[in-house]
Structure 1
């Protein structure tokens, strides 16, 4: 994957993003992405990527993908209605990237799938979910 222009990367925007350390990439208008450089802080007691962190990345890539359908900055609010995750392989240290794809939906609900891959191409996890567009005034 080519390097994204710095202006298309979102860093340290939320508390969760700062805590976990992932970066959101909105350089592709059709696919929201987020990536994380996995180190010992992200591993479970067995030395593999913690499942909760994998789900966080899949959820964020999916929500960003939904947002990109209405806002080129990827910041329009979308909420997760449901998210199903399948753990396929063991995550390990190195860069992992979650990428979302819209698979269906309408004006207010989108169906989005995502995959999480290690930089060596290994598939770590996949997800399918339903995401709802929420007007900004309803978030307050």
Structure 2
């Protein structure tokens, strides 16, 4: 198994409870880049019947965090925490799959900056975000740290 497949498989098997509840998945992951997708279900919608802004923000936060935490060393991982996430809602999604692309934009050894763009099923931009993330101890090294079981 190559490092990309290994990283994706491990992340899916060890995702958070929120990831399991919402049902999003990481579909692309490489250095400085990640894509998160979610098939919209009833529990993702607000009272107006469209995808809830909080769900979109969660997906943009996740894609951005993954974009800065890719680790090419099999068996290792990197972790970060969100310091800030500024979101702009530009459109909506009622159904289908929402796709969020996160990219690292720059930064230093411990603090990094991101941007994310969310697309509805028709390919229209529905939201954008910029973020600031801080690496956990040891995760500032691109080789990461050993995974926890």
Same fold (TM over 0.5): yes
Rounded to whole Å, the distance in 2 between the matches of 1:6 and 1:98 is 21
Partner of 1:46: 48
Alpha-carbon shift at residue 32 of structure 1 (Å): 1.2
Alpha-carbon shift at residue 103 of structure 1 (Å): 1.3
Rounded to whole Å, the distance in 2 between the matches of 1:78 and 1:49 is 26
Partner of 2:12: 11
Q: Secondary structure at the match of 1:89?
A: coil
Partner of 1:76: 78
Corresponding position: 1:86 with 2:88:
yes
Which deviations, in whole Å up to 9, do the C-alpha atoms of 1:19-40 show, x marking residues without a partner? 1111123443331121100121
Structure 2 residue runs of 5 or longer lacking an equivalent are: 140-149
Cα-Cα RMSD: 2.3
TM-score, normalisation: structure 1: 0.84
Determine which structure has more spread, i.e. the larger CA radius of gyration: 2
Contact 1:81–1:131 (CA under 8 A) maintained in structure 2: yes
Structure 1 residue runs of 5 or longer lacking an equivalent are: none
Alpha-carbon shift at residue 82 of structure 1 (Å): 0.4
Rounded to whole Å, the distance in 1 between the matches of 2:47 and 2:77 is 34
